[in-house]
């Protein structure tokens, strides 16, 4: 399991949720929030899959946040 922390100053909540929904077919994703970050827990078939999903999720959410 890998935890991805996305800072609220850079990422919008709606964008994170859309990215989680889109990439949820590639790994089990669970979103939690704290005061300064969106936290996405990623559980995949392998550590390599978790890493790839984490990178794609962060990139996709950042792109959506900047539109």
**What is the arithmetic mean of pLDDT over 23-41?**
97
CA dist., res. 55 & res. 45, Å (int): 16
CB atoms under 10 Å from CB of 7, counted, come to 9
pLDDT over 90 at 32, yes or no: yes
pLDDT over 90 at 39, yes or no: yes
CA dist., res. 20 & res. 35, Å (int): 19
User: What is the domain count for the chain?
Assistant: 1
Q: For residue 31, how many C-alpha atoms fall within 13 Å in the half-sphere facing its CB?
A: 18
pLDDT on residue 67: 81
Structural domain including 39 reads 2-65
Question: Which pLDDT tens digit goes with each residue over 6-22?
Answer: 999 999 999 999 999 99
Q: Which residue in the block uniquely carries the two structure tokens 């559980």?
A: 43
User: The domain that contains 40 carries what CATH number?
Assistant: 3.30.1370
pLDDT on residue 25: 96
Question: Which pLDDT tens digit goes with each residue over 43-67?
Answer: 999 999 999 999 999 999 999 999 8
CA dist., res. 48 & res. 7, Å (int): 23
């Amino acid at each position: 399991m890998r935890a991805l922390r996305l800072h609220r100053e850079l990422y919008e909540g709606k964008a994170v949720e859309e990215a989680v929904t889109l990439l949820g077919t590639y790994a089990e994703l669970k979103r939690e929030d704290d005061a300064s970050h969106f936290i996405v827990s990623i559980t995949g078939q392998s550590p390599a899959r978790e890493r790839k999903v984490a990178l794609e999720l962060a990139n996709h959410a950042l792109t959506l946040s900047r539109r």
